[in-house]
């Protein structure tokens, strides 16, 4: 399963729901979709540091936030803040023992460019 993060207009949730139903009917797990109204809001939440954290976490596997901070060679407090936001967005999961993990094999970020006439 992959996470698809996109800049999409309001009302695109209906399209995403249709795609998820179609994937389920084909016997596949539906991809996780996360939409933002603008590229500015997307990149405010998905900073390069947070995307790199997702990559590091996927590489090292489920671990504590402390272990992730050490693996990423970053300050624990900043990693804790970033993981909390990624968890709110649904890009990171936390187990009962407090370990965090990335449940997706890949993350796709789709940003449409303006059309020319």
pLDDT in tens, 40-73: 999 999 999 999 999 999 999 999 999 999 999 9
Packed helices 65-72 and 48-60: angle between N→C axes, nearest 10 degrees: 110
Query: Does residue 116 lie in a domain region?
Result: no
Q: Which domain CATH number covers 38?
A: 1.10.10.10
66-89 per-position pLDDT tens digit: 999 999 999 999 999 999 999 999
pLDDT at position 11 over 90 = no
**pTM score:** 0.79
Alpha helices by DSSP H, the chain: 12-25, 39-45, 48-60, 65-72, 76-89
Per the structure, the complete domain to which residue 7 belongs is given by: 2-110
pLDDT value at position 26? 66
Query: Does residue 115 lie in a domain region?
Result: no
């Amino acid at each position: 399963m992959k996470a698809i993060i996109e800049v999409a207009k309001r009302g695109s949730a209906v399209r995403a729901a249709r795609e998820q139903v179609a994937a389920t009917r084909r016997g596949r797990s539906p991809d996780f979709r996360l939409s933002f109204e603008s590229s500015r809001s997307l990149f405010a939440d998905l900073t390069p540091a947070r995307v790199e954290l997702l990559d590091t976490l996927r590489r090292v596997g489920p671990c504590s936030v402390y272990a992730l901070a050490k693996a990423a060679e970053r300050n624990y407090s900043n990693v804790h803040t970033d993981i909390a936001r990624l968890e709110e967005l649904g890009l990171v999961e936390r187990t009962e023992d407090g370990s965090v993990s990335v449940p997706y094999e890949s993350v796709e970020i789709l940003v449409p460019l303006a059309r020319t006439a």
